[in-house]
């Protein structure tokens, strides 16, 4: 498909890509986003071009309101850009219908939210199983996968607990397990430690490090320098533009 | 370091294509969605119950009303069969005015004269064509005896055609004959009830019973009747058990005389009634209702007081059919209204549920749920809700007729079609009134939904 073209078409601010050897998993090309509120329109993203490679560990930083969450929503196929193209794997998502966007979210993306976003009526295991359910896994398959993931995030003895019976850190670990369920191409986390105390936050960071070691592709939005320290590539946004994009800890 | 270690992940690779064959709508998914729906409904037990009340009442009311109406029309048909399709029943009825005048008088009681006469019957016979037979009866209340046992019962003096005129068969022996009728013979046919009471052990046939001072030879016993054959014991006030005996009309006249006396609350009362009852048989069922009207006109002309009643079984059947139809229309209207109200209730609660669960909808959409998955989830929930309501309604709808039958002795019939129909309609209500809330849920923007507090 058209991925090849995107390789040669990057902005001058991107200087870290060449050093990293992974396969291209996501590519943003001149992404613009404008919100319309009646007669008023707000330009939030002013043409963002970024490439993301398999196995990379990326942090996105920037002042509040600079468009980080907006960008993450586009990366997560929850929202469509007003202009520009977004390739996820080898699919052009910018022309996709709602059903295809749902399908691609379910199959290729893992979400971790600041407020965990677990379903309160369901227990830990059922929450982890949920993305598998929409992918049509059988009950036996999803059960096995979810059990394995619950164990991996250290919650094997809590599988029948409801989210409100868990601490924030534990809930976020459930969310991470859920994000891993379909073995996604990219894991997207918008301020995953924003609601956590420093100890729980540190545990989550350790989990991310381990995921990175296993070759997972992580993109996270954070305000915390400490979290950004853990990443390998640090992108800074300002007013809807890429301010800097640097590879760190090489 | 952390207390949990991540093993290398070894999972089935994500098999993605926009139309992943795995993500088809399977029974596993249906089961899962149903489980989630049930969970959500039972987590709001009282609210759900109140929501489905409209459906419950609607379904129960329809089933119960149809059962009562069905029972009534069954009774009417039975009565119609028992009384005969081509029969017209005439009965003497003590007029209200006469009753009052006797209460006023002093001195020895005077005999009241009322009711149908032989002359009435003769006129009817002569003026109306198409009457094939008339069976006139006198009914006198008497004590009848078999040795030491005595019961008070109606003694019906009638004609030989009496049993055949109303599909009333003999259990044993025979009815009296034309010869016996002509000869004023002292023969008697017992009803099943009387036979059992007077002859608890031995066979009554060829035995004798005593009425007043005369002995009558028992020649036959009628079969047991259903309660629908009531109304013949006109002479007495008792309307309960159809216990009576039959003797030749001629014998009744010559043994008991024209005037009969009976005990009333105020003392003894004498009355002169020529005929208590007459069954007029018409040779064509088409004309029976019309003939009934003509007879009524003739009798109106001949009688000053309304001292007779006229009953056309076919007309009663038509009436019953008409009222059954009316019942069905009323049941339909009640059902329609309460199901509509129930449906609106379900829609209301589903809309509330969608709003409450906006966040959940956003999460599900982010995790790969398509619009149709969300629609299915809320639609199934609405159907479960109305289905549960329908089920409770069906149980109540079957229970209510049962209670009516048990405590009021009314015949009720629950036909299987009524609960099935009512339940299916209630499930359909869930679909119809669940569509809009489900669409609302599915049309939510995932980003907005996720941000919802
Ligand atoms: N649905 C929307 N309609 C209108 N404006 C929006 C909408 N969503 C976001 N915005 C605007 O877009 C800008 C960027 O918002 P965004 O949530 O991406 O910021 P952010 O970088 O994530 O900030 P924070 O660090 O506070 O989370 C903000 O000015 C915000 O008001
Ligand atoms: Mg944000």
Mark yes or no for CB contact B12/A183 under 8 Å: yes
Ligand 1 atom nearest A42 alpha carbon: 5
* Rounded Cα distance, B203 and B187, in Å: 16
B422 lies in the same domain as B330 = yes
Same domain, B175 and B205: yes
Flag if B18 and A210 touch (Cβ within 8 Å).
Answer: no
Question: Going by C-beta distance under 8 Å and a sequence separation of 6 or more, which residues neighbour residue B340?
Answer: none
Percentage of residues in chain A having pLDDT higher than 70: 91
| Residue B353 CB coordination number (10 Å) | 22
* Chain A residue closest in CA terms to B452: A117
Check whether B264 has a pLDDT greater than 70.
no
Nearest CA in chain B to A99: B370
What is the ipTM score, two decimals?
Answer: 0.91
Would the CB atoms of B18 and A99 count as touching at under 8 Å? yes
Order of all β-strands in the sheet with A109-112: A109-112, A186-190, A218-221, A57-61, A233-238, A241-247
Rounded to the nearest angstrom, the minimum Cα separation between A245 and chain B is: 26
For B399-417, write each residue's pLDDT tens digit: 999 999 889 888 888 888 8
What local confidence, expressed as pLDDT, does residue B266 receive? 62
Is residue B315, in this structure, part of any structural domain at all?
no
Do B245 and B378 lie in a common domain? Answer: no
Q: Considering only residues 43 to 62 of chain B, which have any Cβ-Cβ distance to chain A shorter than 8 Å?
A: 43
Asked whether A68 lines ligand 1 (CB < 6 A), one says yes
Position B307 in a domain: no
- Give the residue on A whose Cα is nearest the Cα of B43: A121
Give backbone dihedrals phi and psi of A92, rounded to 5 degrees, phi first: -85, 110
pTM over 0.80, yes/no: no
CA neighbor of B85 nearest in space, from B295, B299, B310, B286? B286
By CB atoms closer than 10 A (0-12, 13-18, 19+), residue B10 is exposed
Is B36 found in the same domain as B91?
A: no
Residues B96 and B55 in one domain: no
The answer as to whether B250 is a domain residue is yes
Task: Give chain A's mean pLDDT.
Answer: 88
Interface test with B, best of A44, A104, A134, A186 (most B CBs within 10 A): A134
Is residue B366 helix, strand or coil?
helix
* pLDDT greater than 90 at residue A2: no
Other CB atoms within 10 Å distance of the CB of residue B294: 14
Residue B193 banded pLDDT, cuts 50, 70, 90: confident
Centre of ligand 1 from the C-alpha of residue A70, in Å: 6
Whether residues B162 and B247 fall in one domain: yes
Pocket of ligand 1 contains residue A205 by CB under 6 Å? no
Of residues A146 and A94, the one with the higher pLDDT is A146
**Which B residues, 368 through 387, put their C-beta within 8 Å of a C-beta on chain A?**
368-373
- How much distance in Å is there from the Cα of A64 to the middle of ligand 2? 7
Residue A69 CA to ligand 2 center (angstroms) comes to: 4
CB contact under 8 A, A121 and B14: no
Q: How far is the CA of A71 from the centre of ligand 1 (A)?
A: 10
Closest CB to B20: pick one of A136, A139, A148.
A136
Q: Which of B253, B283, B313 is the last residue of a domain?
A: B283
Q: Is B367 within 8 Å of A138 when comparing Cβ atoms?
A: no
Q: In the predicted model, what is the mean pLDDT of chain B?
A: 82
Same domain? B355 vs B390 = yes
Domains of chain A: 2-247 (3.40.50.300)
Do residues A181 and A146 touch, judged by C-beta distance below 8 A? yes
Residue B224: CB atoms within 10 Å: 12
Nearest to B6 among A96, A178, A214 (CB): A214
Query: Is residue B445's pLDDT more than 90?
Result: yes
The residue in chain A having the minimum alpha-carbon distance to the alpha carbon of residue B44 is A121
Chain A residues near residue B11 by CB distance under 8 angstroms? 145, 148, 183
Out of A134-143, B210-219, B314-323, B386-395, pick the least confident. Answer: B314-323
- Identify the top-confidence range among A160-169, B171-180, B307-316: A160-169
Give domain status of residue B394, yes or no: yes
pLDDT digits (tens, 9 = 90+) for B140-155: 888 888 888 888 888 9
Domain end (from B257, B283, B309): B283
pLDDT at A212 over 90: yes
Question: Same domain for B328 and B275?
Answer: no
Q: Which two tokens stand for residue A49?
A: 């071009």
What is the number of other CB atoms lying within 10 angstroms of the CB of residue A214? 13
Give pLDDT, residue B238.
Answer: 35
Q: Which two tokens stand for residue B161?
A: 């055609």
From chain A, pick out residues whose CB is under 8 angstroms from the CB of B43.
121
Number of C-beta neighbours around residue A7 at 10 A: 11
Q: What is the pLDDT of residue B396?
A: 94
Contact between A154 and B3 using a beta-carbon 8 Å cutoff: yes
Taking only the tens place, the pLDDT of each residue in A47-83 is 999 999 999 999 999 999 999 999 999 999 999 999 9
Cβ contacts of B22 on chain A, cutoff 8 Å: 135-137
**A59-68, A79-88, B14-23, B354-363: range with lowest mean pLDDT:** B14-23
> What is the mean pLDDT of the segment spanning B8-23?
45
Q: Report yes or no on B208 lying in a domain.
A: yes
Tell me if chain A has a CB within 8 Å of the CB of B15.
yes
Query: Could you list the residue range(s) of the whole structural domain that residue B395 is in?
Result: 26-76+321-451
Higher pLDDT, B240 or A41: A41
Do B241 and B164 share a structural domain? yes
B350 plus B208 within the same structural domain: no
Residue finishing a domain among B254, B283, B312: B283
Report the share of chain B in percent with pLDDT over 90: 23
C-beta of A134 in contact with ligand 1 (< 6 A): no
Ligand 1 in reach of A33 Cβ (< 6 A): no
Q: Quick one: pLDDT band at residue B213, thresholds 50, 70, 90?
A: confident
pLDDT of residue A110: 95
* Phi-psi group of A136: left, alpha or beta (phi > 0 → left; psi -120 to 50 → alpha; rest → beta): left
Closest ligand 1 atom number to CA of residue A71: 18
Q: What pLDDT is stored for residue A11 in this prediction?
A: 40
For B216-230, write each residue's pLDDT tens digit.
Answer: 999 999 888 654 343
Q: Which of A80-94, B268-282, B324-338 has the highest mean pLDDT?
A: A80-94
Q: Tell me: pLDDT of A178 over 90.
A: yes
Asked whether residue B313 is domain-assigned, the answer is no
Q: How many domains does chain B have?
A: 2
The answer to the question of residue B301 being in a domain is no
Which atom of ligand 1 is found nearest the CA of A66? Answer: 21
pLDDT score of B390 more than 80 = yes
**Highest mean pLDDT (candidates A64-78, B25-39, B203-217, B405-419):** A64-78
Cα B53 from Cα B217, distance rounded (Å): 66
Q: Check residue B36 and give its pLDDT.
A: 79
Taking CA–CA distances from B357, the nearest residue in chain A reads A119
- Report whether residue A35 contacts ligand 1, using a CB cutoff of 6 Å: yes
Which of chain B's residues have a Cβ under 8 Å away from the Cβ of A133? Answer: 29, 32
CB contact under 8 A, A183 and B9: yes
Mean pLDDT of B348-363: 93
- Measured between beta carbons, the chain B residues lying within 8 angstroms of A106 are 23, 367-369
B257 plus B115 within the same structural domain: yes
Shared domain for B219 and B91, answered yes or no, is yes
Q: What is the mean pLDDT of residues A183-203?
A: 92
Give the number of A-B residue pairs with CB atoms closer than 8 Å: 134
> Residue B382: its pLDDT value, please?
92
What number is the average pLDDT over the span A24-48? 93
Do residues B88 and B312 touch, judged by C-beta distance below 8 A? yes
How many CB atoms are located within 10 Å of the residue A5 CB?
11
B15 pLDDT band, cuts 50/70/90, is very low
The C-alpha atoms of residue A56 and residue A75 are separated, in whole angstroms, by 15
- Residue contact A73–B363, C-beta within 8 A: no
């Amino acid at each position: 498909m058209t991925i090849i073209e995107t390789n040669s078409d990057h902005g001058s601010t991107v200087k870290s890509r060449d050093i990293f050897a992974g396969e291209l998993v996501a590519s943003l090309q001149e992404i613009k986003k404008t919100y319309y509120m009646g007669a008023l329109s707000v330009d939030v993203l002013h043409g963002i071009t970024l490439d993301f490679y398999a196995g990379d560990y990326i942090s996105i930083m920037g002042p509040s309101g600079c468009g980080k969450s907006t960008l993450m929503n586009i990366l997560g196929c929850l929202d469509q850009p007003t202009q520009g193209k977004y390739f996820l794997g080898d699919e052009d998502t910018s022309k996709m219908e709602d059903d295809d966007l749902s399908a691609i979210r379910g199959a290729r993306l893992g979400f971790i939210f600041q407020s965990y976003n677990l379903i309160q009526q369901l227990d830990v295991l059922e929450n982890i199983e949920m993305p598998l359910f929409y992918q049509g896994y059988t009950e036996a398959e999803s059960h096995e996968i979810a059990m394995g993931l619950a164990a991996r995030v250290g919650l094997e003895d809590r599988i029948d607990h409801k989210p409100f019976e868990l601490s924030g850190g534990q809930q976020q670990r459930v969310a991470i397990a859920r994000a891993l369920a379909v073995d996604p191409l990219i894991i997207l986390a918008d301020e995953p430690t924003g609601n956590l105390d420093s100890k729980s936050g540190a545990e989550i960071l350790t989990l991310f490090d381990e995921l990175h070691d296993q070759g997972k592709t992580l993109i996270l939005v954070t305000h915390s320098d400490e979290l950004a320290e853990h990443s390998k590539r640090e992108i800074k946004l300002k007013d809807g533009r890429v301010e800097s994009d640097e590879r760190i800890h090489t | 370091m952390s207390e949990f270690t991540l093993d290398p992940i070894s999972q089935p690779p994500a098999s993605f294509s926009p139309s992943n064959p795995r993500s088809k709508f399977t029974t596993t998914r249906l089961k899962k969605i149903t489980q989630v729906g049930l969970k959500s409904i039972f987590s709001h037990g009282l609210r759900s119950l109140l929501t489905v009340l409209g459906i419950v009442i609607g379904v129960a009311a329809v089933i119960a009303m149809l059962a009562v109406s069905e029972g009534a029309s069954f009774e009417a048909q039975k009565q119609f069969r028992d009384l005969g399709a081509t029969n017209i029943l005439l009965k003497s009825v003590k007029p209200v005015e006469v009753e009052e005048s006797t209460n006023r008088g002093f001195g020895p009681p005077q005999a009241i004269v009322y009711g149908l006469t032989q002359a009435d019957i003769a006129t009817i016979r002569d003026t109306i064509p198409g009457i094939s037979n008339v069976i006139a009866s006198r009914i006198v209340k008497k004590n009848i005896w078999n040795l030491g046992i005595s019961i008070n019962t109606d003694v019906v003096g009638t004609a030989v055609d009496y049993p055949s005129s109303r599909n009333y068969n003999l259990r044993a022996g025979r009815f009296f004959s034309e010869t016996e009728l002509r000869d004023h013979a002292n023969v008697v046919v017992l009803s099943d009830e009387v036979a059992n009471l007077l002859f608890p052990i031995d066979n009554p046939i060829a035995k004798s019973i005593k009425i007043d001072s005369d002995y009558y030879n028992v020649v036959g016993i009628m079969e047991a009747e259903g309660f629908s054959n009531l109304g013949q014991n006109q002479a007495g006030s008792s309307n309960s058990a159809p216990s009576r005996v039959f003797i030749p009309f001629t014998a009744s006249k010559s043994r008991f005389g024209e005037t009969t006396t009976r005990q009333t609350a105020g003392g003894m009362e004498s009355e002169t009634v020529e005929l208590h009852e007459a069954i007029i048989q018409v040779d064509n069922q088409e004309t029976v209702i019309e003939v009934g009207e003509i007879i009524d006109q003739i009798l109106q002309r001949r009688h000053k007081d309304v001292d007779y009643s006229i009953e056309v079984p076919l007309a009663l059947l038509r009436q019953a059919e008409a009222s059954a139809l009316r019942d069905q229309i009323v049941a339909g209207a009640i059902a329609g209204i309460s199901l509509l109200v129930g449906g609106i209730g379900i829609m209301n609660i589903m809309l509330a549920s969608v709003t409450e669960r906006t966040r959940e909808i956003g999460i599900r959409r982010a995790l790969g749920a398509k619009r149709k998955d969300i629609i299915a989830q809320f639609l199934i929930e609405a159907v479960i809700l109305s289905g549960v309501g329908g089920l409770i309604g069906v149980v109540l709808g079957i229970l209510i007729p049962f209670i009516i039958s048990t405590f009021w002795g009314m015949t009720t019939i629950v036909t299987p079609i009524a609960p099935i129909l009512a339940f299916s309609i209630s499930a359909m209500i869930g679909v119809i009134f669940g569509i809009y809330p489900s669409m609302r849920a599915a049309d939510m923007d995932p980003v907005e939904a996720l941000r919802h507090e």
